Structure 1
Amino acid sequence: MTAAIGFPMPKSIIVDDASSTENYAKFIAAPFQRGYGHTLGNSLRRVLLSSLEGAAICSVRIDGAKHEFDALDNVLEDVTEIVLNLKCVRLNLHADGPKTLEIRKDKAGAVTAADIVCDSTVEVLNPEQLICTLDKSLPFRAEIEVIKGKGYLPAEKNTAPRAIGTIPVDCLFSPVTRVNYQVGAARVGEETEMDSLELEIWTDGRITPQAALEEAARILRDHLQPFMGNQVVEKDVVLTEEESKMFKLLSHDVEILDLSVRAMNCLNSANIKLIGELCTKSESRMLKYRNFGKKSLDEIKEKIEKLGLELGMTFSDRLMTALEAESVRVRSEAEESK
């Protein structure tokens, strides 16, 4: 694949660590050819806000409630308020299909997201979120369905067949809440008419800003691939015998590492699917992912060391190109199977 000639490109992306938090980060990239700051900034912003996958509660069925305008004897809030509160529950779903969960409470007091009965495939990120308040010590039970999606799905379009008494819920799938970008001036030698791109990303905690930016860039790359003619990467790249052996190992799914549920959930949240994608990440980069701690890091290092690999590895341009193509193929197949 022929590289563009004469276009200035940033060698790396700078993260403003001083202002970064778990849910916010500022990224600075320069230099770009004049005009490309807006081209890339606007494209990334649109993808970040509309195209990242997330999970949301899509429906609820409450014992004793026939419709969304109903009221329950032992609950202070009406059903409409309960539905509004459920929309505010933030969670991650580490599985492909829909998931049905229960909410149970027998004592008077607040029913919160912490009362959602979850297994290892579901992670509630704001357990303190109020769902309703019981004024009597009578059993409260509700059944919610969680699905994955992109962007926003209003309740009126959420029309999948469901049991009588099931109430659809507006789904806000996107884990990115806000994106700003600014284009400034950059200088390269005597050339001053260059762009500098500053991108700010806010998330709701379901994904880190760094992981969100990486996923948005990957989505843009995948959509541009068809416009590159017949340059199919897998056929263009000719690997050496040694590189072919390494590619076979690196192109395996991370599931073969047999990691703990917590470590695997962290990789899923970071959208790391292949061993090759994992090995190119540094230790410091891995520790920036949400809920990824030293224990999970040590576990992963131990597992990949058994394969003769380590974190922070670098590979030849040919091997990296082949790995990127494999990543595109794997994600395309996953999308088609949904």
Structure 2
Amino acid sequence: MKQRDRFPIPLWILMLIGIISISFSSIFVRWSAAPVAVIAMNRLALTTLLMLPLLGKHRKEIVSIRWRDWALMFVSGIMLGLHFLFWMGSLRFTSVANSTAILTLEPIFVLVGAWLFLKQPVRPLALSGMITAMLGAAWIGLSDAGLGGDSAWLGDGLSCIGAFTVAVHIILGKSLRTRLSAFVYSFFVFLFAALVLGLYNAAGRQALFAYSWKEWGIFLLLAVIPTLFGHYLFNWLLKYLRPESVSMSVLGEPLGAALLAYMLLGEAVTWLQAAAAAVLLFGVWLFLLGSREPRTASASQEQTLKEPRQASEPA
């Protein structure tokens, strides 16, 4: 690492701040009494408002965006909106620990999509991790049988769908990010997702803005803490850390969310749930190890890898 790339604060502290920040997402959703689609809409709308003052610096890039890329960004925004809709909905039915653990299947769905549509090869270690993670997810569902019954299974299923939709969003983003900056891509995807959720809420005759100051405080906390101090911080850390190191942060969210749920919501985790989540997270860890780019990659590949990803991953 060059001297000019060094940062005065230890990077592991910043990584820890990011993990804690995204872990709060499920807690804030549980605290809110608003419909999940309204929570998601206002979280994204407030995030775009916070980003708006910096948009003028990207005027030249915006006017040069092709129509095809606008269309792909719109689809990516729809997928992000669906992710929030399904994942936040899962928290109404299953535990925070189970919902966030199942959400870590997202990178596996990304690899499956890359294998099916981009013909990207799957390494044996990644395949072993994928199978292990799927077994862990199935075990989580079985562990819910004696706890929440059908409603808990519904929550697990919604979280799984949320992981799938955000995977589609990320696959689209990986293509678009070769032509667009992280800020421009993220701003318009957030905006499109908020607009689509707004139409969904209007069609369902949900109140869009008539909420208490407490609810608006929760919406703002969601926009600032898990989004800006969470996912955007991880994007920034990609300038200083290898991408696979940052991607490992996905394993920290279920642990952080479970601990916060225990302290702030009084939500306990059974030994069976903990064992199932451990199997799932171990599988995702193996998968991430097996998906790492070799260190002998060319300089051009290294530069591509160091480009920041979009700031809109799960939670």
Q: TM-score range by the shorter chain?
A: under 0.3
Structure 2 length-normalised TM: 0.24
Normalised TM-score (structure 1): 0.23
Structure having the higher Rg: 1
Question: Higher relative contact order by CA 8 Å / sep ≥ 6: 1 or 2?
Answer: 2
Higher strand share: 1
Structure with the larger helix share: 2
